[in-house]
Amino acid sequence: MKKTLLALLLSFPLISQGADLANGERINRSCSLCHGIYGQGASGRLSPRLAGMPVEYLIKATKDYLNGTRNNPLMVSTTGLDKMSDQDIEDVATYLSSLDFSYDDRFDIVQRFGGSEENGKEVFDDECDTCHAKDGSGKPDKDAPPLRSQHSEYLFQSMKMFQTQGRIHDNDPEDDTFTEYTDQEIIDITAFLASLDNSRFVAGKRFVPPRPAMLAAKRPEKPVKQHGLQITDITQTVAQMALKAGVSKEDAIQAMLSKAVELNLKLVGRQDVSKELESRGVETPFLSIFQFCNPMDARLMVISNPIFSSYMPCRISLVEDQKGELQLMMLNLDMLINSELLPGEVLDTAIRVNQSMLDIMMAGATGEF
């Protein structure tokens, strides 16, 4: 804790003069289902790590999604980014930038693709380090972000997008850095970058959530803005999303079931609770509960520790609130993901399952699949 606090205190005057970290932390709840509570990102699902990245880059990147320079409509619509003020964006960027879990080996970057570190280093030293720095930590004066401590899949995808003009590299539409690289060379670069990251981690230190005590102590709770996706309570146990205007119950259910099939999650149970009560003549708000499971994932988790069976199967409920509005709700596995309980070998599974459940919930909320 000491180390985190010290790092935060030291970085405050430099990066966050005008930022409201408590507001940033609050907004981050809507980011956390894809980027993780600690901005750790998710390997495999192309959601980048944001923790510890430079504020200026985070602000610029976030605004690029809003002005169409970069493309991720789902991220914008589920977080209500388009309704946030510049101050909100600065607040959440500053909060994310202040997070540091570099000493926690559970969030280590895994070199998944293989690839040749050596070849990657050669390319990097020839072509990249002038802007991204020798150790991959980026150069603010060139607007070049750090590339180490970033998930290999995300880096790979970004470079492929630069290559196919799906994203602009170096803020220069004419940039041709990646035109000539083969996929193998790009993989080699990610292998080299992953090696930089690993050398930075100190294994075996206990993870302390990077949450400065002063945040909790000082600020009165402001009501959370009603953006699209909400995590309803302070312990972040539940993620909730209202159905978009025009999406009926039937649309939502159809979209969720189709999405689940696409993601290879089996519908293993469905309880139409309100329907059953109504058939007995009892008046009740609408409630249906859907249960999903992938048996292979369940197996892996239970082999690791039988207690995980208590989280199974994953559920999403469709429920009518006090105002008569329909809400989708699910347990936020991110809590489990960030707990001390989860050993490395099941961390990825938990992240993937959480994201699949979120995808199903989002399909339901938007009626799109």
163: tokens are: 């290559």
By CB under 6 A, name the one of 21, 37, 51, 58 that touches ligand HEC.
Answer: 58
Best CA proximity match to 146, nearest among 12, 24, 56, 13: 56
By CB under 6 A, name the one of 75, 208, 214, 300 that touches ligand HEC.
Answer: 75
| CB of 163 closer than 8 Å to CB of 181 | yes
| CB of 161 closer than 8 Å to CB of 48 | no
Q: Which is nearer to ligand HEC, 64 or 272 (CB)?
A: 64
Does position 184 interact with ligand HEC (CB under 6 A)? The reply is no
267: tokens are: 């519908």
User: Per-residue string for binding with ligand HEC, 15-54, x by CB under 6 A?
Assistant: ------------x--xx-xxx----------xxx-x----
Ranges within 106-125 binding ligand HEC (CB under 6 A)? 123
Best CA proximity match to 63, nearest among 95, 86, 96: 86
Using CA atoms, how far residue 319 sits from 12, 110, 268, in Å, is: 42, 39, 19
368: tokens are: 């799109």
Q: Which stretch binds ligand HEC (CB under 6 A): 73-81, 265-273, 280-288, 313-321?
A: 73-81
* CA 253 – CA 257 distance, rounded (Å): 6
Does position 169 interact with ligand HEC (CB under 6 A)? The reply is yes
Q: Which is nearer to ligand HEC, 142 or 222 (CB)?
A: 142
Measured from the CB of residue 86, what is the shortest distance to ligand HEC in angstroms?
13
Does position 265 interact with ligand HEC (CB under 6 A)? The reply is no
Cis status, amide bond into 313, omega within 30 of 0: yes
Residue ranges that bind ligand HEC, judged by CB under 6 A: 27, 30-31, 33-35, 46-48, 50, 58, 60-62, 70, 72, 74-75, 78-79, 81, 92, 123, 127-128, 130-132, 142-145, 147, 150, 155, 157-159, 169-171, 177, 189
